[in-house]
Structure 1
Amino acid sequence: MPLRFFIKQWLLPPGVLILLLLLGWCLRGRFPRLSTLCFGMGLAGLWLMSLPLVVQQSARLLEREAPLAVQAWPQLAQQADAIVVLGAGRERGDLAWGASDQPSLLALERMRFAANLAKACGLPLLTSGGLHFGEPPSEAQLMAERLQADFGIAVTWQEGRSRTTWENAVYSAEVLQPLGKRRIVLVTQAWHMPRARWSFERAGFTVIPAPMGALGSAEGRPFFGLLPESRAIGQNAQLLNEALGLLAYRLLY
């Protein structure tokens, strides 16, 4: 496991909130006021992280791109040169698939959407995603194999070196731009699109965003949005990571 990943897990919720609770426990004897503050911050943070309403409102701050109208999909062939779908991790050693790695659920959502776009407009497709664990196959290869087997879509190019969204853009440019392909339809989750689009535009592409999987569009009764939900913790953590990543990219690149 990369050191930066280990550190990030403890600096971002829920890891940092667990550390606050542990710190509050350790300080309860000598520093009762500080202990109470740490406990309060940790518990309040975990409660907020568990609320679907917080997911919905936070996602709306990131999900600024409108989805592509289904009726406009066939016209993409006149507006772009290729579809680029970004990797989103993998499931390691799935026993149901002979202990082989498989694309994550997030990646499968992206692949399904990209496959339907490709069928509608006929544009060639590039998958982007590296090794992460240092072991082949790359995410790009995993996605290409499943796109062919599950959706009947042959992937034209694979970019299998990238480990970050920025590298997705840089290495995809090295594959596509020498071929004269600078206009792309970019497929990723709506909350990830701001950082992805910014990165690909910085790499020299003209980007048609094709966001999907929005978290801020769900309508529900407000009361139930205030009930804790385990899934919301992961979603809120992902949204916070995305917001911080977008800020860091603009400072670093």
Structure 2
Amino acid sequence: MIRAALLMWAAGFAAILCWTLLWPMDRPLPQGDAIICLGAGIDTAGRIDAASTKRAERCAELARAGAAPTVIFTGGPRRPGLSTSAAGMAAIANGAGMGGALAVLENASYSTLQNALFSLELVPRTARLILVTEAFHLPRSWASFKAMGARDLALYPSERLRQNDAGRPKWGMLLRESLAIWFNAGRIVAWRIGGALGVDDTTRAAWLR
């Protein structure tokens, strides 16, 4: 059992490494109804981190190019009552120029699954969505949005992998991602079982945090 689990994890880690290194960064301009700017980190002073900044700048670039008329910035605060990741990214994107695209804030989410659940409440079910995050995070983001009911998804990288303050790739993020995929899968199963058993939506949403 342990050996099988280790083999499954190793296969997942290898897949993450491959798509991180091989994801094409010069993809054609996608077209959709809304761009989803997935939140990353924010500190207690309300400052977003470098990864969130790059995501916001890439979303602004896509909006200026006419990829979609709306950009949804999604991500909650470090703690309740503080500035949100969504607000910080929207400020960066507006400062970069969004070409007249509408900025919409989703301020309640604390995970990729909650990003998906709460963002999809803001768009029609048939909306064509463009997800923007780092290349290593794009497949889990796609799976999260699909699990929450998204139908039409395009993926666009903000960068290949997050970098540290010295500008070097944070390879440890790949290890974290290889574990997060399985953690997400477990939470999705619990979320679906809870729905079948009649657990209320607010409680189930908290399970995805």
Give the alignment's TM-score, normalised by structure 2: 0.70
What is residue 56 of structure 2 aligned with on the other side? 111
Q: 1:155 to 1:142 in 2, by over 3 A?
A: farther
> Structure 2 matches for 1:101-180, cutoff 5 A?
101-123=46-68, 124-148=70-94, 150-153=95-98, 155-177=102-124, 180=125
Secondary structure at the residue paired with 2:130?
strand
- The letter of the residue matching 1:115 is A
Q: Deviations over 1:16-56 (max 9, x none)?
A: xxxxxxxxxxxxxxxxxxxxxxxxxxxxxxxxxxxxxxxxx
SS across alignment from 2:171: helix
In the alignment, the residues of structure 1 paired with residue 25 and residue 173 of structure 2 have an alpha-carbon distance, to the nearest angstrom, of 23
Q: Which of structures 1 and 2 has the bigger CA Rg?
A: 1
Unaligned runs of 5+ in 2: 1-13, 189-209
Quick check: 1:147–1:155 contact (8 Å CA) kept in 2? no
Distance 1:181 1:159, change over 3 A: farther
Could you state the TM-score of these two structures normalised by the residue count of structure 1?
0.59
- Which one scores higher on RCO, CA 8 angstroms, separation ≥ 6? 1
Asked if residue 203 in structure 1 is aligned to residue 148 in structure 2, the reply is yes
1:204-223: per-residue Cα shift (whole Å, max 9, x none)? 2221000231149xxxxxxx
Quick check: 1:65–1:190 contact (8 Å CA) kept in 2? no
Q: What is the alpha-carbon distance in structure 2 between the residues aligned to residue 131 and residue 170 of structure 1? A: 17
Kindly provide the CA deviation profile for residues 106-165 of structure 1, in whole angstroms up to 9, marking residues without a partner as x.
1011111111111112511110001132233211112112221x2122543111100000
Residue number among 87, 95, 101 corresponding to 2:39 in the alignment:
87
Amino acid at match of 1:135: G
Which of 10, 14, 20 aligns to 1:63? It is 20
Tell me the distance in 1 between the aligned counterparts of 2:115 and 2:105.
Answer: 11
Which structure features the higher share of helix residues? 1
Instruction: Supply the AA of the counterpart residue of 2:132.
Output: V
Calculate percent identity across the aligned residue pairs: 26
Is it true that 1:249 corresponds to 2:206 in the alignment? Answer: no
Contact conserved, 1:81 with 1:181, CA < 8 A, in 2? no
Supply the distance in 1 between the matched residues of 2:22 and 2:129 (Cα, whole angstroms).
15
Contact 2:73 2:104 in 1 (8 A): yes
Distance 1:156 1:231 in 2: 29
DSSP-derived class of the 2:73 partner: strand
Please state whether the residue corresponding to 1:117 is helix, strand or coil.
Answer: helix
RMSD: 2.7
SS in 2 for 1:156: strand
1:87 to 1:184, Cα distance in 2 relative to 1, 3 A? same
SS of aligned partner of 1:184: strand
How many pairs were matched up?
Answer: 168
Conserved? CA contact 1:59–1:215, under 8 Å: no
